[in-house]
Structures are given as structure tokens and as C-alpha cells.
Amino acid sequence: QFIQTYANHPMYLAPRGPQLHAKSWQAEAALRMFLNNLSEEVAEDPERLVVYGGIGQAARTPQDARKIVELLLTLEEDESLLIQSGKPVGKIRSHAEAPRVLIANSNLVPHWATWEHFNQLRERGLMMYGQMTAGSWIYIGTQGILQGTYETFAACGRIHFNGDLRHKLLVSGGLGGMGGAQPLAATMAGATFLGVDIDPERIRKRLETRYIDKMTYDYREAVRLALAAKDKGEAVSIGLVGDIGDVLEKLLQDGITPDILTDQTSAHDPINGYVPHGMCLPQALALRKSDPEQYRQLSLKSMARHVGFMLELQRRGSRTFDYGNNLREFAKQGGETQAFQIPGFVPEYIRPLFCEGKGPFRWVALSGDPEDIKVTDEALKKLFPQDKHMIHWLQQAAVRVAFQGLPSRICWLGMGDREKAGLLFNQLVREGKVKAPIVIGRDHLDCGSVASPYRETEGMLDGSDAVSDWPLLNLMANTSGGATWVSFHHGGGVGMGYSQHAGMVIVADGTDRADRCIRRVLHNDPAMGIFRHADAGYETAQENSDTFGLSL
């Protein structure tokens, strides 16, 4: 009956409330988060099992999805389920403090780690693309990237605009699952925002979830609205339907130079993500199927054209940065030799946070009751009364973020604070202050869990950008520490061949066991970020290592 109600639902549904369907809260948490990832309110395309980020999936096929649900429902507390690229392949004997699920997605031996090889395997049903949090069942909708985007825009404002983004115009492409956070992050940071997406449905979804204020098909109207808002210093966001390359070309012709320029189209995937110039969406979808190689060539050329316009706007004064979609590399392959003149956002704005073990900590109320998130928000404010930046964030998020699926919250926390927050949540569950257990997780885009030379590890001080021992150690640390589920993926964010990364999720179910696991995992996980950056020679990470008594 459970399968009938939740897994056979055409758009999937996650159960809510305090009732347990599986044999433990750890298995139940994995079950709910898996179904939540796929549910209509959360996933970009539930019918195709696509959660976000191009073709980032939670399960390989609908049959695999149903089997995963079946197995999680019957999983014992001394068993762990093995998932290979979205397919359940077996159960192993383990123990109560071991992860309930062990996930490996999209991993290929380096020599074969290309989109071409991966796509062949995918077509034969042997693999799926897990992105970062799609295949590791901790995607929480667009909010998941909201604070990171806000921190990035705010840092750009601090560095280049005296901390004031009013009267500043920020332009970007891509308003999909993650890119859709840009309009809200930009307006929260005080800027006027103009975003461009080729797919009107994507912009409509942002309107429905209150991430964007206005939508138009008309370039002239979009520019008029954006410039008027910029003049008045109004933090308004406008979504324009179109090709981002075309829109940048028109801005150049009209002599309009955005103050800040970036991009979040799904450029990491030249075939199943980026839409080439001069093509409407249905044409693009048809060509993807009929002639993927021609599509790829067109895509690379279009990215080169797109980046060429970005470079010209950069010359004219736009603060321009790559926002983690590997656009520069594919533009280079398409013929734009200067693409890497555009800096990446991590070395520009985020690395100092990584040196403090800071990253995108997130949590989800399994009860499904938004009140539970309110309780956690208030408890965190009391726990960290000195952290004004965090309190400001939580206050804004409470008012401006519409939940998608199970209510959740993201809040960047660092070494020390993550452990304290985790123990606090476990206490709230134990004392019945929230109505069901809380799931705690993070993005793979974190301080110590990823090797990605064009993103998280771009331009490391010691040149160790491509060393992927670190995410493997992170996976092993979180497995030995007793996270509730762990994952290791390839190709997230920037595409096949360009990244390897690890995920972890831990459940606060109010038990002493959870306290023990939280103490280990939420200590070790951010510590990996400090180890990684201290080892690469970052002084603040070395100082933090001493402050927190890490055995470096």
C-alpha cells in the first residue's frame, strides 16, 4: 500500500508526520528524502527522474525507484543498502552505527571519464548522472544554493562596490533548479537582477515559488524595467525568455554594461544541458536525439560566442565571474581562447570561508511541518547570539523563502558550529519540541569534500587542484564516523572528467546513538576542509587547525 500511495504516484510523494513506515528512522529518513527529491514540488522533471542540474537523477529508472523504496522499507538496522548509479544492487551486513545506504554515482576510471563514454553507458542503461545532491538524496529545491549565491553576490559587493549593491544591475543566464536562486539572492543582497532562460516553464516555476518578481518575453520591456529599477535603487528581479548569448549581444549593441555578470545555464553538459544559439527549445530537444554530435558542436560554438560577449562586457567594466558550470572550459573547446580570463567564483569569493570549514549546512523537517523549521531557526539564533550575519540570514530566509517539498533550511556553518547545531537538533527531537526527526546534510560543494579544478579547487595555493584523494578521504571519514548515508560521485557541477566529490547525510532522531554519530561526523566533515586547505598552505586554515585542536 505504501508503494501504491507514494512510489507509484505519477509524480512521487514523500510521506510526512511522526509515523514510521520503515524499520528505523535512519531508513525512513533515506526513504522520505529519496521520494522528496523526486516529488513534483522539488524535482525539475519528476517523470524523467531528473531532480536538477541538466540530467541529475535520483534513481536510474522508475523500476529502480520502486525497488529502492521497497528495500528501504524492509532494511534492518544491521544492514546497508548499496546503490550503483541509481540502481539498488545489494545489501551488506553492517551495524547500527554504520551508514544505512552507501551510494556511488557516475564514477568512471579517469581515462574513460568523458561525456561521450558516459552517454554510451547511460543509453545502455548501465549508469545515470547523479549531479551532486540529486543522486545522493539531499536536494532541497532552489533554497539549497540560495545562501551560497547570496554569500557570493554579497562578497562581490563587499570587494567591488563598498558593500552596497543598490543601484547595481546583475545579469545572468539560466534560471533552472539552481540558477533559479540567483534572482532572490541578488535582490536579498540589494541588487537589481535581469536573468535570461530559454525555457519559459523554468521562469514560471521561479515566479510560482517567489524566487523571481517578473517575467517577460520582450527584451525591450525587460531592459526598461531593469534600468528603471536600477536607477531607483530597487531590488527587483526580472526573468526574460531568450538565449543568453543573444541578450548579451543586444546589451552590447545598446551600450548597456551590467555591473555584475555571471552565468548559470547548464553549460556543464553540452548535449543534455546547454541550448545552442539560434535554436528554439523544441528544435533543440529534437536535435539532441537525432544528432547528438552535431548538437555538441553547436553547443560548444554557442558557448564560445556567449563567453566572447561576456569578455567584451568584462572589458567594458562588468565584474564578471564563472559560477561553477564549466562554461569557460567548453567555450575554450568551442574556440574562445581567452575564456579563462574570467575568474572562478571560489577563488574570488568563497575560499576564505572554506578555510574556516564553512559550507552549505542544511536540514529538513521529516514531519513535513513548517513549524518545525521555525523551531530550529529560533533555537539556532539562541545558540549563536553573537553571529549577527547568520541571524540576519535566518530572519530573511524565514520571510522570503517558499519551501519546496519537505520544509528545509540552509545556513552556512563552520567547524565547531555544525557539531553544536547537530546536537541541538537531536535534543529538540528527543524533547519532542519538533514533531519528527530532522535530517542534516550538505551539498557536495563544500570545504573538504570535492576535487574540481575549475570550481571548488581552482587555483589552490600549492597547485593541488586535481588531487582527488581528499574527497575519497572525506567519504571514508564520514563512513567510519557513522553518517546515515554517504555517497561518492563524479562529474557534478562541471561535468564528466572535471570533478569528484563526496556527500553525507545524518539523521537526528533523538537517540543517544545519533548523539554519538553527530559528534563524530559533524566534527570530522568540516575538519576535512581545514585539513585540505591547511595542507595546501592556507594560513587561516592552519590557524583554525590550532584553534580547534585538530591533529594536523
CB-nearest residue to ligand NAD = 176
What is the closest distance, in whole angstroms, from the C-beta atom of residue 198 to ligand NAD in the complex? 4
Does the protein bind ligand NAD through residue 202 (CB under 6 A)?
A: yes
Grid cell digits, residue 223: 531592459
Does the protein bind ligand NAD through residue 449 (CB under 6 A)?
A: no
Looking at the Cβ atoms of 493 and 529, the one nearer to ligand NAD is 493
Please list the residues that pair with 105 across neighbouring strands: 489
Nearest to 499 by CA among 444, 443, 435, 431: 444
What is the closest distance, in whole angstroms, from the C-beta atom of residue 71 to ligand NAD in the complex? 28
Residues of this chain, 140-169, that bind ligand NAD according to CB under 6 A: 145, 148
Nearest to 453 by CA among 331, 322, 360, 552: 322
- Distance between CA atoms of 365 and 527, rounded to whole angstroms? 26
Alpha helices in 209-259 (DSSP H): 219-232, 244-253
- Distance between CA atoms of 306 and 71, rounded to whole angstroms? 46
Identified binder of ligand NAD from the candidate list 209, 265, 484, 499, rule CB under 6 A:
265
Identified binder of ligand NAD from the candidate list 244, 261, 447, 507, rule CB under 6 A:
244
Does the protein bind ligand NAD through residue 267 (CB under 6 A)?
A: yes
Question: x/- contact string, 404-443, with ligand NAD (CB under 6 A)?
Answer: ----------------------------------------
Please list the residues that pair with 506 across neighbouring strands: 440
188 annotated to bind ligand: no
Does the protein bind ligand NAD through residue 308 (CB under 6 A)?
A: no
Looking at the Cβ atoms of 267 and 534, the one nearer to ligand NAD is 267
264 annotated to bind ligand: yes
Is 517 among the catalytic positions?
Answer: no
Residues 6+ apart with CB under 8 A from 499: 450, 451, 452, 455, 456, 490, 491, 492, 493
Identified binder of ligand NAD from the candidate list 46, 99, 190, 324, rule CB under 6 A:
324
Does the protein bind ligand NAD through residue 445 (CB under 6 A)?
A: yes
DSSP state of 153: H
- Distance between CA atoms of 173 and 483, rounded to whole angstroms? 36
Q: Decide if 235 contacts 191 (C-beta within 8 A).
A: yes
Does the protein bind ligand NAD through residue 196 (CB under 6 A)?
A: yes
Grid cell digits, residue 408: 528545509
Question: x/- contact string, 370-399, with ligand NAD (CB under 6 A)?
Answer: ------------------------------
Ranges of beta strands (E only) in 415-496 are 438-442, 450-451, 485-490
Count other Cβ atoms within 10 Å, centred on residue 59.
28
- Distance between CA atoms of 487 and 471, rounded to whole angstroms? 10
Please list the residues that pair with 502 across neighbouring strands: 488
- How many residues make contact with ligand NAD (CB under 6 A)? 33
Does the protein bind ligand NAD through residue 54 (CB under 6 A)?
A: yes
179 annotated to bind ligand: yes
Q: Which residues bind ligand NAD (CB under 6 A)?
A: 44, 52-54, 145, 148, 173-179, 196-199, 202, 243-244, 264-268, 273-275, 323-325, 445, 493
